[in-house]
């Protein structure tokens, strides 16, 4: 019997709580300002734009690009991502990331549904290497941040609102630039895709997901499939928010450790130290 | 072997974090950990 509704509700609650807690600088709302304190140096392990007016922490990808631009090895960022990932793999994507939560929400829209070919998953490593690292190094500008749809949603649009309110902090901002308009188009395209495919940004483009996904292979927590009891009915695949087949892709770098598939008795959470 | 791999990476990432934090310099004008850069969102 497949069961997992309770875990799904718990995950939704954790995602919502994480979104509210990490974007809790509510003093920014009446003042049309943004948080500028020392906590901005703390990387939040999710695609969480530090330009969001309510955000008090920074995005690991933005911080990574910063270190690339100032020509310093990003020890701190890699250490944080690795230290979390080595315990729980890509768990942050499934339980913390607000942009992943947003895409799962949009997928509920009544739009035609499609799958994508498997090779497209590797594109996120191209974005990580070429855009986050390569182009940032070459141009000394955080070009992934400039294009990131999570940034457009969490920061670009709120700042448009702040500018409409006449915020002093938005003085000089030009929302008619080709770049901002291009970002809006990218976000609209991503929203449409998210309505038709499961978590397209997470699967095909997210550089943070790419980094966390690599830790899936060596993480302490892992999923175990009991091949003797698995009937390959495909129910786990239908519940998987990343369009994986958990009974065969159990160690996939795309697994976001949402544990929806553990609703089946044949799939259980284990550790590198053996079965619990 | 998997336990050894896990342990090696754990030590490595903890060392990264510790030494990374020690090398950060926070000041009012430029934070090495994060830059408060509104222009990063493409409106600067």
A133-173: per-residue pLDDT in tens? 999 999 998 899 989 999 999 988 998 898 889 888 887 77
Residue A48 inside a domain? The answer is yes
pLDDT recorded at residue A7? 87
Residue A142 inside a domain? The answer is yes
Are residues B20 and A79, on separate chains, in Cβ contact within 8 Å?
Answer: yes
Are residues B33 and A58, on separate chains, in Cβ contact within 8 Å?
Answer: yes
pLDDT recorded at residue A34? 85
Q: What is the pTM of this model?
A: 0.89
Nearest to A56 by CA among A72, A69, A68, A43: A43
Are residues B38 and A79, on separate chains, in Cβ contact within 8 Å?
Answer: no
Residue A109 inside a domain? The answer is yes
pLDDT recorded at residue A137? 94
Q: pLDDT > 70: what percent of chain B? A: 52
Domain count, chain A: 1
Contacts of A85 in chain B (CB under 8 A): 13
Contacts of B15 in chain A (CB under 8 A): 79
Are residues B19 and A159, on separate chains, in Cβ contact within 8 Å?
Answer: no
Residue A276 inside a domain? The answer is no
A27-85 tens-digit pLDDT:
989 988 888 887 887 888 998 888 888 988 889 998 899 889 889 899 989 999 999 99
Question: What range defines the domain where residue A251 resides?
Answer: 5-271
A-to-B residue pairs, Cβ atoms closer than 8 angstroms: 131
Nearest CB neighbour to A40, from listed B3, B21, B31: B31
Question: What range defines the domain where residue B28 resides?
Answer: 2-41
Q: In chain B, which residue's Cα lies nearest the Cα of A49?
A: B41
Are residues A76 and B26, on separate chains, in Cβ contact within 8 Å?
Answer: no
Residue A262 inside a domain? The answer is yes
ipTM score here? 0.74
pLDDT recorded at residue A260? 92
Contacts of B36 in chain A (CB under 8 A): 34, 36, 40, 50
């Amino acid at each position: 019997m497949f069961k997992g509704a309770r875990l799904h509700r718990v995950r939704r609650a954790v995602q919502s709580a994480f979104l509210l807690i990490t974007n809790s600088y509510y003093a920014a709302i009446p003042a049309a300002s943004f948080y500028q304190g020392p906590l901005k140096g703390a990387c939040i392990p999710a695609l969480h734009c530090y330009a969001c007016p309510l955000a008090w922490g920074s995005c690991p990808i933005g911080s990574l690009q910063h270190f690339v631009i100032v020509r310093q090895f990003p020890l701190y960022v890699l250490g944080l991502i690795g230290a979390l990932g080595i315990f729980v793999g890509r768990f942050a994507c499934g339980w913390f990331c607000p942009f992943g939560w947003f895409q799962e929400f949009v997928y509920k829209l009544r739009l035609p549904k499609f799958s994508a070919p498997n090779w497209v998953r590797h594109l996120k490593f191209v974005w990580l290497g070429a855009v986050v690292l390569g182009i940032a190094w070459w141009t000394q500008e955080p070009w992934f941040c400039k294009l990131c749809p999570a940034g457009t949603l969490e920061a670009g649009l709120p700042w448009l609102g702040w500018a409409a309110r006449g915020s002093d902090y938005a003085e000089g901002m030009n929302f008619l630039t080709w770049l901002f308009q291009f970002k809006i188009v990218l976000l609209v395209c991503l929203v449409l895709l998210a309505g038709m495919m499961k978590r397209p940004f997470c699967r095909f483009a997210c550089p943070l997901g790419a980094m966390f996904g690599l830790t899936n292979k060596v993480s302490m927590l892992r999923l175990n499939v009991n091949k003797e009891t698995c009937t390959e009915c495909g129910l786990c695949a239908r519940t998987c928010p990343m369009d994986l087949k958990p009974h065969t892709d159990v160690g996939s770098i795309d697994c976001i450790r949402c544990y929806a598939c553990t609703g089946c008795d044949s799939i259980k959470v284990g550790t590198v130290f053996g079965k619990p | 072997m998997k336990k050894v791999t896990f342990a090696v990476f754990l030590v490595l990432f903890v060392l990264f974090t510790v030494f990374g934090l020690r090398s950060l310099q926070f000041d009012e004008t430029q934070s090495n950990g994060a830059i408060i850069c509104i222009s990063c969102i493409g409106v600067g």
